[in-house]
Amino acid sequence: MDDVSRRFEADLTNDGSQPSIVLRAMPHLVVDGSAASTDDLPDDISVELLRMSLGERETAADTIELGTLTGIVSCLVSVPIDAAVGIRFSFDEASTE
């Protein structure tokens, strides 16, 4: 199945009180209004986070360090043609490694 790229954006307000926090982006297929598992689907029917940015910070990883940044988070996601895709965000502590 062919893929296309779609951009998702979210407005992030950050008070900077936890500068070690990171934002994690998790794209997923959507079926009947909720996230769908891809465990039983062929490999060519999947979504992938290609790039995420916030201000001048950009990464190909699924997490981005926030520090005190605030603004528009932009995510470029590969999307199978004729598929519905959503993106979920969560916050984690930055790795100390």
What b/e readout covers 26-36, taking b as 16+ CB neighbours within 10 angstroms?
Answer: ebbbeeeeeeb
Closest CA to 24 of 88, 90, 95, 86: 90
Q: How far apart are CA 65 and CA 24, in angstroms?
A: 9
Structure-model confidence comparison of residues 30 and 3, the more confident one: 30
Per-residue pLDDT reduced to its tens digit, 41-94: 777 778 899 999 999 999 999 999 998 999 999 999 998 888 888 999 999 988
pLDDT of residue 46: 80
pTM of the model: 0.82
In the predicted structure, residue 2 carries a pLDDT above the cut 90 = no
| CA pseudo-torsion sign 34, 37, 40, 45 | positive
Tell me whether strands 71-80 and 85-93 are parallel, antiparallel or unpaired: unpaired
